[in-house]
Amino acid sequence: MIAQARAAERPRPGELRLHAVFWNSLGAGSLANALMELLDNMPGDAVERHLWCLRQHPEPAVRRDYHCPVFPELLYRAFCKARVPAAVQGRIGSSAMLNAIRPGDIVYVWPDFDLSFIKRAQDRDAIVVAERTNVMAPMGREALARAYARRGLSLPAGWFDPREMDQERLQMLQCDFVVARNAFVSQSLRDVGIPDSRIIEGPYGYSPKRLASAIGIERPERPPVFAFVGGGIIGKGLDVLLEAWDKAGVTGTLLLAGQLDSELQASYSHILARPDVSVLGFVRDVASVYAAADVFVFPSHVEGGPQVVYEAAGCGLPSIISPMGAGHLVRHEAEGLLIDPLEVDQLAGAIATLAEDQALRRKMGAAAAERAHDFTWAKVGRHLYKQFTRVITLQGRQS
């Protein structure tokens, strides 16, 4: 009888109550951007949205009317002044958030995950859905170990602690559903025991409005410009890219947008100092990078579905990209060239191919832009809403 009563309380499709939970600062980072875009693009008349930032107040520039402060502004400032640890603030804030949920609400948790919080939300008969922003640790460890071993290096000390890996697995197993943004994330979840019935698949997206200055532009006749956007680390394949650029020997320019790892800066200083390599550092207006480029290069080893690949395609750029970095977008050579991120020669060959053939670049770029129409945040947000309504129906039947 209790189960039947709770099932009757569940919201029907079209009356979805959603609590998005973000533990870190809602600033300008890619994860925060993805969360805000997903929430913004769910149908407002069908979803009652609540966004809880449990450790910090969001920056004024990104606040929305559905943001739910866990502390009054004055209390939050007092906590900061008293240097109350963020973890303590999070525990206090999570209690406030849990008091707001009702049976059948969806609690949409983003990293960092907290097993106790997940269980407490389920104790209130909420449906907990985790956003899996990267592959699970066993798959990530294997891929990164190969990437480091390529240069004769071991993984940095402290990475992939067995206790933390076990905790990550328990967190995902505890959740009712997990969102996976590419096929590799889905497989990594299966590998640790998550059944297909609990995996929600769907891509990330891009904002045509945010990138308007780089969309539909006519790229001039010039030596080709290749752009890398992301953290300049081994995990993103920057070392492989720099070696491939040196080996390809093409006439053109390589743009690097993102903060570079200090070890890579030192090891590849001779390539980074070349006149055909431009180190831009962090770029807030990423559309300016895409507008300046003719090809997007992203030989990443470990990804959960990078937004940059959708952005680059939306801006009409063909991609040279690893399978894990391709997300749902690059299916075959019509839109981009898939390469093994461990193979410098293969990447150098792909760079040379596109550097030498402007017609091919433009043909592939047009195909990528057409394909990207399916991945605007408006469509991705609507798709996730439909998945959430399906989840409510499934859980109602189980109850």
Do 71 and 151 belong together in one domain? Answer: yes
Do 269 and 386 belong together in one domain? Answer: no
- Domain of residue 216: give its range: 212-375
Instruction: Report the chain's mean pLDDT, rounded to a whole number.
Output: 89
CA distances from 302 to 38, 236, 343, 375 (A): 23, 7, 15, 21
Query: What's the rounded mean pLDDT across residues 9-38?
Result: 75
Do 383 and 255 belong together in one domain? Answer: no
Do 89 and 34 belong together in one domain? Answer: yes
Do 83 and 104 belong together in one domain? Answer: yes
CA distance linking residue 314 with residue 309, whole number of Å: 9
Looking at residue 68, its pLDDT comes to 81
Count of CB atoms within 10 A of residue 65's CB?
7
How far from the centroid of its chain's Cα atoms is residue 332's Cα? 22
Query: What's the rounded mean pLDDT across residues 145-153?
Result: 97
Do 151 and 282 belong together in one domain? Answer: no
Do 370 and 384 belong together in one domain? Answer: no
Count of CB atoms within 10 A of residue 92's CB?
15
Query: What's the rounded mean pLDDT across residues 97-119?
Result: 93
Tally of domains within the chain: 2
Do 193 and 216 belong together in one domain? Answer: no
| Contact predicate 107/126, CB 8 Å | yes
Do 290 and 218 belong together in one domain? Answer: yes
Do 61 and 136 belong together in one domain? Answer: yes
Tell me the sheet residues that pair with 232: 260
Query: What's the rounded mean pLDDT across residues 153-157?
Result: 95
Exposed, middle or buried by CB within 10 Å (0-12, 13-18, 19+), for 106? buried
pLDDT > 50? residue 3: no
**The domain spanning residue 91 has which CATH number?**
3.40.50.2000
- Write down the pTM of the prediction: 0.90
Looking at residue 15, its pLDDT comes to 73
Do 244 and 197 belong together in one domain? Answer: no
Do 317 and 222 belong together in one domain? Answer: yes
Q: How confident is the model over 175-198, as pLDDT tens digits?
A: 999 999 999 999 999 999 999 999
